[in-house]
A and B are shown apart, each in its own frame.
Chain A
Amino acid sequence: MVSADLLATLVPALPLLGALSIGFGRRKLSANAAGGLATALVGLSFVCSLLLFFGHDGGTRIVHLFNWITVGTMHIPFAFQVDSLSLWMMLVVTGVGTLIHAYSIGYMHNDPRVATFFAQLNLFSFAMLLLVMGSNFLVTFIGWEGVGICSYLLIGFWYTNPEYNYAGRKAFVMNRIGDVGMVLAMALLFLQFGTLNYTEVSAQAANFSPGNPLLVGATLLLFLGATGKSAQLPLLTWLPDAMAGPTPVSALIHAATMVTAGIFLVVRSSVLFELAPYTQDIILWVGVATALFGATVGLFQNDIKKVLAYSTVSQLGYMFAALGVGAYSAGMFHVTTHAFFKALLFLGAGSVIHALGGEQDIRKMGGLKNTTRTTYLTFLIATLAIAGIPPLSGFFSKDGILASTFAQSPLAYAVLVFAAMLTALYMFRLLFLTFFGTYRGKAHPHESPAIMTVPLVVLAVLSAIGGALNIPHVFGGHEWLKQQLATAVEAVGAEHLALSASTEYLLMALSTALVVLTIWYAWTIYGKKTTLEGEPADMPLPKRLVAKRWMLDELYAAVFEKPYGWLSRAFFSVGETRLAVPLTAGTGKAAHSVAEWMRKLQSGNTSFYLFGMMLGVVVLLLFTLLSV
């Protein structure tokens, strides 16, 4: 039997091994060999996670590898924390990751740099695993930055396109803005507690009284980090642009795993957040606002991947809303089901794009349900799941969030239900325009190969039955996932839903009925009539504003990007060229004129020189005499 420590080390080590071996052997490996190796290693990592999971006794195990940073009283170990929270994330990351790796073998088959792609995808998996497994904030931060740079590389994977390069940089820089908060939070926590280990920080923080300004500050800073990584307002505009990357990247990084890092971080440090009610309120409302923002903008997108990107933004908003009301298990549950159905949606979109030879505009699709049968059926399941139709997974996870929110803030609940209706609307618009009606493009659609459709089917099954992981008590379930997480996250154990069973039934019926009505409405405009929206420029003003992402990009460009460029130029042309260098040159000129004056002393008059010498000797003698 392999020891648990070794297994835990292997989980991130295997994808790292894959990244290094494929990266260095990228010229010698064939496309299939690189893809196969990458998939196998992440798959093995999944197996190791499963073994760890089933051998897990419900405790917290620290796997200490070595001392990383030691200065004075600062001891930062390089260590992993294996508990039910990290185990669950490891399973999601490696499980969904394996499927997406396998799918990529088919999707990226014809790309000349396919081996590089798989090396970077493996490197990402490694970083993501470090993120969830770290036993202290700083090890998590290794993964946090690592997934950021992998995301940058993969968004700009097709580097000959300057727009893609810009998208990559934008993603990285906006993430870094969030990281400012993360780094400051770590500095604050370290100087306060003398450690960054989660267990010790949590234990010490538990002695603080609720609302302590230090904890409010730390949690706000941590949340700033989370908004960057998880694309929440105001740091979300990078995520839609990130769709420039290959579609499997969008599925893995920008839907299933990396963007949920912010949620993970909050759950990991939930002890701090529980004691900072002020931060929790902010999280709730940022989450609610983002959920609504994403859902509204998603309505008007014509790029199949952009619709899904705004949908991701919106769904992440739901997860944060859950965290804001202290429903950590509901948030983690939605992380899980979202990983299933959103990965499936992206992979399905990829399959459609593949079938149409690269077309992403849904106005040039239609009628694909007959030509791409498997893709259609699986996409349908995912769409029903994200819309929250019972008994699919999304129904249970979204209901968990809605019920917890209702108990705390009916207003937030109302907004989230409205956003859920919009979700159904934009998703069914997408479904109808893509798969129903008649084909409006010029390509010859064909179903994707089995290496791509099999992962779709597996994810479809998970999206369908994933709700079983956490069936609420009102349906006679035992909330299995919540029970699991409660062993690692104290706050989960303390969660208590103050709603009567009848209220819960009523809320479920209400939201389901509203969603079904919305679907019917979507059918009347997009299914039967196939209404196509034009470009935002042709729309009436309020609609145009929403379609253009509430002008957020334009706002940032006008307020930050452009002025920063001007500032950079101004500092150089005024500060450097006009001020600093001429001033130095002035010093030089001054020295020159001193030299001119000195030159006059060299008159060629020997007696003047002798006088000078005498004077010098006398001064030296005096100096020596006086100083001895």
Chain B
Amino acid sequence: MVLLALVLIPLIAAVLLLALRPAAATARGLALTSSLLTLALTLWLWYTWNGTAVTAINHDWVPAWGMRLVLGYSGIGLLMLVLTAVLFPFIIGTGYKQPVGNGALVNALLLFCQAALFGVFMAQNAFLFYIFFELTLLPIFFLLLRWGGEHKRSITIRFFLYTLLGGLALLFSIAYVTLQTPVPHSADFTALAALDLPMDVQLWLFWAMFLAFAIKMPIFPFHSWQPETYTMAPTQGTMVLSAVMGKMGIYGIVVFLFTILPEGSAHWRHVVVGLSLFGAIYAAVIAFRQDNFKRLVAYSSMSHMGLMCAALFALNTYGISGGLYQTFAHGVLMVCLFYIAGMMHQRVGSHHFAQMGGMKSAMPRLALLFMLVVGNAIAMPLTQSFPGEWLMFTGLWRMEPWLALAGVVLIVLGAIYMLYAYQRVLLGPDRSHTAPDADGEEHFLLVPLIAICFLVGLFPNLVLQLVDAPVQQLLNSFTSLP
């Protein structure tokens, strides 16, 4: 029942918003209440979780196609549910200080998106997963098309077509594997996981599925939609895309590729790790000389996603646990960074560094908050990013030492672009301007997020214990690995 409620609460709230069209303040209040309610439910799920996979709802839907309504979660799904539930109150809260457009409509779209995301992470049937997976796209599409920045039309359409292309490949793959199951066909994950597909099928099917997730995360060279979309989108849209929707790619890799196509994954892992790491370094190098703050954060996100994807395909305990753990850390980080980018945009009217700098004396509070976030971004130990990076590097070394070297280079490149960004935003000779320091509302949003950064950094086991058992189970399907 709780699972159904997770989808229904934001859905009902969204419909209410659309039907009643209340004033912006009421709309935000309703949306925030809904997101806090789902947060409470998710935390309760987390608290009561006993370490085993849960299936709550199990109904036939279109039996001939193997489509069934199955909702449930494993530790990995629960981590994603927690991530979604924790971040949405902050994403909706961003609208208080950085409002966009029509309050009722924007919040309704955000809630639709949250409902679909909950669906994605709870679906235990591949078709159901696919439906939710594509549903997340619709509200974002409207959000971007309506309230995006420069070139919103062309960029949004390109983004939409690109991700849809990936989606079609996924749909085709799901249909294909479902037809391989014994009659009556079932697209349930349990049924698909039991398949033992021949190697030649796994080899090509891998790329069809990977394409969808690689575009979603995104991974080099499927990333070209990302920087311009993140830069153009309204802050809240960018947050949803980078902090949560990108994680559908990571999640998809684990539940589809690793469970249905273990041999295919093992066979192609070197290619994927190579691409991901190259992309991670490529994005980190680009970020250094970016003159647009928001785009710099977009590239930094791509860099981090590349490392996570590489770590997953190390196919060992440390890599997969570290990569999954990092989805949470990265989500929190992205909301923080894009929020700060939004704060700066409100103050100087631009995302360009040329308009910033020399502002620390006027904004000591913002400077401190930003520095704490920077510390998290460059994975200082005792912030949440560090345990993840340590695990990912260990995992990569386990696979191949020189891969760890390529990964660890990122801690240098990350420090280079992040500290340079901090300097360009705030430091330097004082500029005369009237921009205000971070105020109470902005503290209200950033302080809890930063508190999460340090809490999880100090006690990473809170998150790691969710994925520990499922990852061990997952690894059993890779016993054939050298």
Binding site for B on A (CB under 8 A): 66-74, 138, 141-142, 145-146, 149, 152-153, 156, 159-162, 165, 168-169, 172-173, 176-177, 179-180, 183-184, 186-188, 190-191, 564-565, 567-569, 571-572, 575-576, 580-581, 583-585, 587-588, 591, 624, 627-628
Contacts of A588 in B (CB 8 A): 154, 157-158, 161-162
Q: How far is the CA of A580 from the CA of B286 in the complex (A)?
A: 13
Shortest distance from the beta carbon of A181 to any chain B beta carbon, whole Å: 9
B178's nearest neighbour on chain A, judged by CB, is: A627
Interface: B360 (CB within 8 A): yes
Contacts of B412 in A (CB 8 A): 173, 176-177, 179-180
**In contact, B427 and A184 (Cβ under 8 angstroms):** no
Interface: B448 (CB within 8 A): no
**In contact, B375 and A149 (Cβ under 8 angstroms):** yes
**In contact, B224 and A184 (Cβ under 8 angstroms):** no
Q: Interface-forming stretch among B35-43, B252-260, B348-356, B389-397?
A: B389-397
B322's nearest neighbour on chain A, judged by CB, is: A71
**In contact, B282 and A74 (Cβ under 8 angstroms):** no
Within 8 A of A (CB), among B284-333: 285-290, 317-318, 321-322
For this complex, 9 residue pairs linking A to B, each with C-beta atoms less than 8 Å apart, are A149-B380, A159-B360, A160-B358, A169-B423, A173-B412, A177-B412, A179-B412, A584-B225, A628-B183
Within 8 A of A (CB), among B427-463: 427-430, 458-461
**In contact, B390 and A138 (Cβ under 8 angstroms):** yes
Assess A627 versus B290: contact at CB under 8 Å? Given A74-B318, A145-B381, A180-B411.
no
**In contact, A173 and B419 (Cβ under 8 angstroms):** yes
Cβ-defined partner of A565 (8 Å) among B227, B228, B288, B427: B288
Q: How far is the CA of A466 from the CA of B78 in the complex (A)?
A: 60
Q: A183-B408, A564-B288, A584-B224 are in contact. List 11 more A-B contacts (CB 8 A).
A: A69-B391, A160-B429, A160-B430, A162-B423, A169-B423, A176-B415, A567-B285, A576-B286, A587-B158, A588-B154, A628-B64
A-B complex: 10 closest residue pairs judged by Cβ atoms: A580-B224, A568-B289, A72-B317, A142-B381, A187-B397, A584-B224, A568-B288, A159-B427, A187-B394, A176-B412
Contacts of B361 in A (CB 8 A): 160
**In contact, B411 and A581 (Cβ under 8 angstroms):** no
B461's nearest neighbour on chain A, judged by CB, is: A70
Cβ-defined partner of B411 (8 Å) among A142, A176, A585, A587: A176
Shortest distance from the beta carbon of A578 to any chain B beta carbon, whole Å: 11
Shortest distance from the beta carbon of A586 to any chain B beta carbon, whole Å: 10
**In contact, B464 and A71 (Cβ under 8 angstroms):** yes
Interface hub of B227, B286, B391, B468 (most chain A Cβ within 10 A): B286
Q: How far is the CA of A184 from the CA of B282 in the complex (A)?
A: 21
Interface: B404 (CB within 8 A): yes
Contacts of B158 in A (CB 8 A): 584-585, 587-588
Chain A-chain B contacts (Cβ-Cβ < 8 Å), number: 164
Q: How far is the CA of A569 from the CA of B390 in the complex (A)?
A: 30
Contacts of B375 in A (CB 8 A): 149
**In contact, B408 and A169 (Cβ under 8 angstroms):** no
B295's nearest neighbour on chain A, judged by CB, is: A572
Interface magnitude class on chain B: 35 or more
Contacts of B427 in A (CB 8 A): 156, 159-160, 162, 165
Contacts of B405 in A (CB 8 A): 180, 184
Q: How far is the CA of A571 from the CA of B183 in the complex (A)?
A: 51
**In contact, A188 and B401 (Cβ under 8 angstroms):** yes
Interface: B53 (CB within 8 A): no
Shortest distance from the beta carbon of A289 to any chain B beta carbon, whole Å: 24
**In contact, B289 and A583 (Cβ under 8 angstroms):** no
Interface: B54 (CB within 8 A): no
Interface string of B345-380 (1 = CB under 8 A from A): 000000000000010110000000001000100001
Q: How far is the CA of A581 from the CA of B386 in the complex (A)?
A: 33
Q: How far is the CA of A168 from the CA of B64 in the complex (A)?
A: 65
Cβ-defined partner of B461 (8 Å) among A67, A146, A169: A67
**In contact, A146 and B381 (Cβ under 8 angstroms):** yes
Q: How far is the CA of A172 from the CA of B224 in the complex (A)?
A: 31
Contacts of B461 in A (CB 8 A): 67-70
Shortest distance from the beta carbon of B351 to any chain A beta carbon, whole Å: 15
**In contact, A571 and B285 (Cβ under 8 angstroms):** yes
Interface: B185 (CB within 8 A): yes
Assess A627 versus B286: contact at CB under 8 Å? Given A72-B468, A173-B419, A583-B224.
no
Cβ-defined partner of B223 (8 Å) among A146, A177, A580, A585: A580
Q: How far is the CA of A606 from the CA of B399 in the complex (A)?
A: 61
Contacts of B415 in A (CB 8 A): 172-173, 176
Shortest distance from the beta carbon of A192 to any chain B beta carbon, whole Å: 10
Cβ-defined partner of B285 (8 Å) among A176, A186, A568: A568
**In contact, B286 and A568 (Cβ under 8 angstroms):** yes
Q: How far is the CA of A581 from the CA of B154 in the complex (A)?
A: 12
Contacts of B290 in A (CB 8 A): 572
Contacts of B64 in A (CB 8 A): 624, 627-628
Contacts of A168 in B (CB 8 A): 419
Contacts of B409 in A (CB 8 A): 180
Assess A587 versus B464: contact at CB under 8 Å? Given A72-B321, A568-B286, A581-B224.
no
Assess A190 versus B380: contact at CB under 8 Å? Given A173-B416, A177-B412, A567-B285.
no
Contacts of A587 in B (CB 8 A): 158, 161-162, 165
